[in-house]
């Protein structure tokens, strides 16, 4: 029995006190061992809490790093998609005829917002459109004659007349 205030109230003589002291001396190693285990457990819990706090900090830092990497990958993916769309547009341009190319460029011009940032792009589209319209007006000849600025007259027979 361990001495408690209630157990001290029941003591009537010195024999009972000696008996209680003997019981306390007998229980002391058990109590010391229990207190030591309790102290060790508390120390272990503190160490675990510190490790968990450090781990949470590391996980948050890792999450931030992964979010930045994900943004970078998404940006590169978007750029690759745009490049792929541009390549497809160019490849489709080789497959389709001049009339389809002209129609596609006119659709692109119509859906492109006109502002200072898109002026250059619209200018390029208009230049391509003019080039394709010129090709549409010019006959496609396999012979390599010199081409003028639109003042040439079609050859008839062996003679050709050009205005200079």
* pLDDT exceeds cutoff 80 at 124: yes
Supply the pLDDT for residue 133: 87
Q: Which of 135, 116, 137 is nearest to 127 (CA)?
A: 135
CA 162 to CA 141: how far, in whole Å?
A: 17
Instruction: Give, in order, the Cα–Cα distances in Å from 115 to each of 86, 111, 119, 128.
Output: 21, 12, 6, 19
pLDDT tens, residue by residue, 65-122 = 999 999 999 999 999 999 998 888 777 656 567 788 888 899 999 998 889 988 999 9
HSE, side-chain direction, 13 A CA sphere, residue 129: 15
């Amino acid at each position: 029995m361990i001495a408690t205030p209630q157990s001290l109230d029941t003591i009537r003589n010195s024999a009972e006190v000696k008996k209680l002291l003997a019981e306390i001396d007998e229980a002391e190693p058990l109590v010391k061992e229990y207190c030591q285990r309790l102290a060790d457990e508390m120390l272990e819990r503190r160490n675990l809490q510190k490790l968990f706090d450090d781990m949470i900090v590391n996980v948050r830092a890792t999450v931030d790093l992964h979010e930045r990497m994900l943004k970078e990958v998404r940006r590169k993916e978007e750029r690759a998609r745009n490049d792929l769309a541009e390549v497809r547009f160019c490849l489709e341009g080789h497959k389709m005829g001049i009339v389809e190319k002209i129609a596609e460029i006119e659709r692109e011009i119509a859906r492109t917002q006109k502002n200072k940032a898109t002026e250059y792009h619209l200018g390029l589209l208009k230049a391509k459109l003019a080039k394709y319209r010129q090709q549409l007006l010019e006959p496609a000849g396999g012979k390599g004659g010199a081409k003028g600025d639109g003042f040439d007259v079609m050859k008839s027979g062996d003679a050709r007349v050009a205005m200079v």
